[in-house]
Amino acid sequence: MVFTTSGSTLEQTDGQTDVNGRHRIRSIVHSVKRSRPRTVPLLAIAVGWILALSVQLTFDFDRSPFLTLTDQAAIAQKPAPDFPLKPHPLPPTLAQWHDARQTGDYFDQVKPVPVGYLVWTHVPVTVYVQPSTQEELANPFRARRSQAWITAVTQAVQEWSPYLPLKIVAEPDGVDIAVWRTPPQIQLDAEDSPPSTAPAPTVPTPTAPPPADGSGLPLRQPHPRLQTGRVRSAVTRYQIYAQGLPNAASAPSRPVLAHRFTIQLRPDQAPDYLQAAARHELGHALGIWGHSQSPTDVMYFSQVRHPPPISPRDLNTLKRVYEQPTRLGWPLSD
């Protein structure tokens, strides 16, 4: 998982990076300071504290973590008197869920982040599913493939909706979860490419499709070795940002810490596997920031021959996530 900065947001990816002790995330602090009155200095302090925790934490689901789960939990739970972690009420649909067979969960595999747990504090959660482009519609094969992709993603959204209400919207602006029909970038093993001094690749926002290729990383010639782990069919990223920043034309208000997700889901997959990948990535976007060790769960860490439906263990884990404290959805301290 990667923390980078983009404008006034904090981004993290279901992918790989390294640990860096420098605090590189100051843009939100500066934007909040510019937009808030001078009489409210604690707001900038609160945001600065959150961002100071985000020092490029590292975890690759395909490898051993550089930071252990205990380390990450300690960082996420570190006290901040002016901006404490607090739980939200359970969404009614999750509150009603009950596993009569008591099949258990894999909550211990869910990774907390510096803002706590990635829970949505409003319902329905809005989802944008990229429609077919004019170029795709002009080609019969690409038109069929894009429509199969849209159908698979839509069905995955419908499968999760009974447990956490989701709503598909027509426009990407301001959406909670955006799903794009683009393949993830190919990544190289760290030992096969020298450290890059170039800026990190641009992470797409929900208002524009993400780039399909071009990582900008220098390669060692002549035979760079590609990463040998699972071939990724999808990548999920999230951004942390301050929502509702006041401006000169409006009365001062208390910004709320918020998040949004972007999913890249490649279209060149068999329909069953495509729907399984969409179901899995939506599980991440709904708050399960980790993987199950059981192949009978949707959030199993690898693809299986016969993809399972959403399991009671998936739902038990999701419910436990939403019972946890977070800083998301709470106003920043005055």
In one-letter notation, the amino acid at residue 300 is Y
Angle at 276 between CA 272 and CA 277, to 5 degrees: 120
Q: Is 22 helix (H, G, I), strand (E, B) or coil?
A: coil
Dump pLDDT digits (tens) for 130-160. 999 999 999 999 999 999 999 999 999 999 9
Element (H, E) at 129: strand 125-129
pLDDT band at 1 (very low <50, low <70, confident <90, very high): very low
pTM > 0.85: no
pLDDT average, residue stretch 304-331: 96
pLDDT average, residue stretch 251-270: 87
pLDDT at 66: 28
pLDDT at 226: 40
The string of DSSP letters for 143-158 reads HHHHHHHHHHHHHHHH
pLDDT average, residue stretch 253-273: 91
Q: What is the DSSP letter of 107?
A: G
Which residue blocks in the chain are alpha helix, DSSP H? 27-35, 41-53, 69-76, 92-96, 134-137, 140-160, 271-285, 312-322
pLDDT band at 250 (very low <50, low <70, confident <90, very high): low
Is the C-alpha dihedral spanning 242, 243, 248, 252 positive or negative? Answer: negative
- Name every residue whose Cβ is closer than 8 Å to that of residue 136 and which is 6 or more positions away in sequence: 142, 143, 145, 146
Q: What is the DSSP letter of 290?
A: B
- pLDDT at residue 282 above 90? yes
pLDDT at 244: 79
Answer whether 211's CB lies under 8 Å from 204's CB: yes
Query: Mapped to the 3 state alphabet, what secondary structure does 207-255 carry?
Result: CCCCCCCCCCCCCCCCCCCECCCCCCCEEEEEEEEEECCCCCCCCCCCC
pLDDT at 83: 76
- Supply the mean pLDDT for the chain: 73
Angle at 213 between CA 210 and CA 218, to 5 degrees: 125
For β-strands 166-169 and 125-129, DSSP reports them as parallel
**CA atoms of 298 and 312, how far apart (whole Å):** 10
pLDDT average, residue stretch 288-304: 96
- pLDDT at residue 190 above 90? no
Answer whether 27's CB lies under 8 Å from 42's CB: no
Dump pLDDT digits (tens) for 97-114. 999 999 999 999 998 898
